[in-house]
């Protein structure tokens, strides 16, 4: 893992003392939801605009609301029954909008590989590495047709507000999300994205390529949290926090 971190720092990330303190603590996930994070990126607000891509059951949105009750949140969830559940869950909160679409680089119908273990569902097929790391994840999936949209097009169509914080959890499909939403996403001061250290989804983007993309977008690594380890103890995925360079 230290070799991976050194590779990341070679991309000219800010290797601040804060970053190293977080690294030594394995980046407690609560750091993301401390209001000081938004203050660090000069967004002194108690009502940030948050984009939750891969909203699932709303766990991340709930965390945000616990810290920022007045947040405007855009939830994107491609699985219909989960999207319906989110609509019901947040029906009394007019500041939360749920979109039942997948985000990608093109507007089209696309196959979603639904896994029996729903959090492993992705547009990409799971590999044998995935099953080896996590035996409860099956390589056999049920494919369903869903709508995929470019985030930049949706942002224009629905006049989405400028984001302060973006979270992306799409199981290896992160690069495609960025390609379809570059204009909108790069307005955000903070981007939190899941990264993969191993090829657990076919053609999924890995940590080096995704990190390099964020550097090209003018972001720096602030922290890492949410480490996910295989059964033999090697890191497979984690969540990287990037902040926009001033």
Among 105, 95, 108, 219, residue whose Cα is nearest residue 160: 95
What average pLDDT score do residues 92-119 get? 96
Give the architecture (CATH level 2) of 41-191.
Answer: 3-Layer(aba) Sandwich (3.40)
**Position of tokens 């660090």?**
40
Q: What is the pLDDT of residue 113?
A: 94
**73 falls in which pLDDT band (50, 70, 90)?**
very high
What average pLDDT score do residues 204-215 get? 96
Tell me the CA distances in angstroms from 228 to 81, 142, 202, one per residue in order. 26, 24, 19
Q: What is the pLDDT of residue 225?
A: 80
Range name among 27-36, 53-62, 64-73, 132-141 with the lowest pLDDT average: 27-36
Run of H or E including 223: strand 219-229
- What percent of the chain stands above pLDDT 90? 61
Tell me the CA distances in angstroms from 67 to 48, 89, 167, one per residue in order. 10, 18, 15
Give the max Cα distance, the chain. 47
At 180, phi and psi to the nearest 5? -95, -5
Range name among 84-88, 136-140, 144-148, 192-196 with the lowest pLDDT average: 136-140
- pLDDT at residue 244 above 70? yes
Provide the mean pLDDT of the chain. 84
User: How do the domains of the chain map onto residue ranges?
Assistant: 41-191
Question: 64: alpha, beta or left, given left = phi > 0 and alpha = psi -120 to 50?
Answer: alpha
* Token pair in block for residue 141: 């999936």
- pLDDT at residue 75 above 50? yes
- Which is it for the CA torsion 30, 34, 38, 43, positive or negative? positive
- pLDDT at residue 167 above 60? yes
**80 falls in which pLDDT band (50, 70, 90)?**
very high
Q: What is the pLDDT of residue 220?
A: 93
Contact call for residues 216 and 245 (beta carbons, < 8 A): no
Q: What is the pLDDT of residue 44?
A: 54
What average pLDDT score do residues 194-200 get? 94
Q: What is the pLDDT of residue 42?
A: 44
Contact call for residues 138 and 116 (beta carbons, < 8 A): yes
CA distance 198 to 40: 31
Q: What is the pLDDT of residue 134?
A: 85
83 alpha carbon, distance to own chain's centre: 17
Among 85, 132, 122, 73, residue whose Cα is nearest residue 102: 122
Of 45 and 156, the one with more pLDDT: 156
- pLDDT at residue 216 above 90? yes
All residues at 6 or more sequence positions from 43 whose CB lies less than 8 Å from its CB, including other chains? 164, 189
Among 134, 204, 218, 217, residue whose Cα is nearest residue 169: 204
pTM of the entire structure?
0.84
Q: What is the pLDDT of residue 22?
A: 40
């Amino acid at each position: 893992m230290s070799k991976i971190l050194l590779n990341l720092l070679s991309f000219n990330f800010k290797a601040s003392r804060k970053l190293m303190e977080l690294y030594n603590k394995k980046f407690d996930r609560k750091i993301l939801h401390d209001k000081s994070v938004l203050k660090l990126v000069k967004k002194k607000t108690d009502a940030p605009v948050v984009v939750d891509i891969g909203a699932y059951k709303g766990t991340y949105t709930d965390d945000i609301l616990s810290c920022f009750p007045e947040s405007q949140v855009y939830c994107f969830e491609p699985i219909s029954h989960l999207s319906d559940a989110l609509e019901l869950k947040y029906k009394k909160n007019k500041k939360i909008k749920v979109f039942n679409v997948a985000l990608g680089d093109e507007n089209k119908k696309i196959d979603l590989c639904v896994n029996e273990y729903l959090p492993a569902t992705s547009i990409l097929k799971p590999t044998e590495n995935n099953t080896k790391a996590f035996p409860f994840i099956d390589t056999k999936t049920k494919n369903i047709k869903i709508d995929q949209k470019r985030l930049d097009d949706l942002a224009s169509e629905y006049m989405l507000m400028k984001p302060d914080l973006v979270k992306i959890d799409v199981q290896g499909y992160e690069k495609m999300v960025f390609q379809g939403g570059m204009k909108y996403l790069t307005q955000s001061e903070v981007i939190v994205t899941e990264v993969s250290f191993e090829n657990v989804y076919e053609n999924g983007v890995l940590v080096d390529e995704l990190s390099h993309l964020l550097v090209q977008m003018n972001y720096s690594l602030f922290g890492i949290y949410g480490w996910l380890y295989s059964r033999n103890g090697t890191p497979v995925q984690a969540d990287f926090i990037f902040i926009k360079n001033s």
